[in-house]
Amino acid sequence: MFLRVSVARLGSQMANYKVKSLRLPGYDGDLGFMAKRLPIMGIFKAGLIHARTLDDKQHVFATTGGFFEMVDNRLTLIFDAFYTVRDLEDYTPDPQNPSFGLYKVDADKLSAEEKKNYVLSMLRNEIGDNNVL
């Protein structure tokens, strides 16, 4: 059994994927999604997204937040911003705050650039700690 995920972000076409499970950063903890979930919609906050593929590989991404809708075994995600491991190539940690991302902050109070640096720092730390893609 798999979950269909449709992903949209500003300036790009919608992409579709099949995954076993997906975890989004929620305001009161992570939101987990698997196939056959009841319909639900809501928002998610800045943080990391974990996806488990059909071949059991773990992938991690970063987002500055967005909106989700789960209907008929299809999860639709609309991102404010979405970052992959490739985005880390151009990322330089903030020398004023080298531990940015090692602790949780209220990302809603950050500027767009600070929020981007926050989630990229979280992604870098996650990749280093867990060797995920």
Same domain, 67 and 89: no
Residue 12 has pLDDT above 80, yes or no: no
Domain membership of residue 109 as a residue range? 85-130
Our count of domains for the chain comes to 2
- Domain's final residue, options 45, 64, 83: 83
128 compared with 33, residue with greater pLDDT: 33
CB 75 within 8 A of CB 59: no
Same domain, 56 and 15: yes
For 37-72, the pLDDT digits (tens) are 899 999 999 999 999 999 999 999 999 999 999 999
Name the average pLDDT for the chain.
84
Residue 78 has pLDDT above 70, yes or no: yes
For 92-121, the pLDDT digits (tens) are 766 665 555 455 677 778 888 888 888 888
Same domain, 11 and 67: yes
pTM above 0.95, yes or no: no
At residue 100, the pLDDT reads 54
**DSSP assignment letter at 131:** -
d(CA 92, CA 56): 31
Same domain, 14 and 76: yes
CB 34 within 8 A of CB 50: no
Confidence band for 32, pLDDT divided at 50, 70 and 90:
very high
- Domain's final residue, options 65, 83, 101: 83
Q: Is 112 exposed, middle or buried (0-12, 13-18, 19+ CB in 10 A)?
A: exposed
Same domain, 64 and 107: no
Instruction: Please list the helix, strand and coil fractions of the chain in percent, rounded to the nearest 5, in that order.
Output: 20, 45, 35
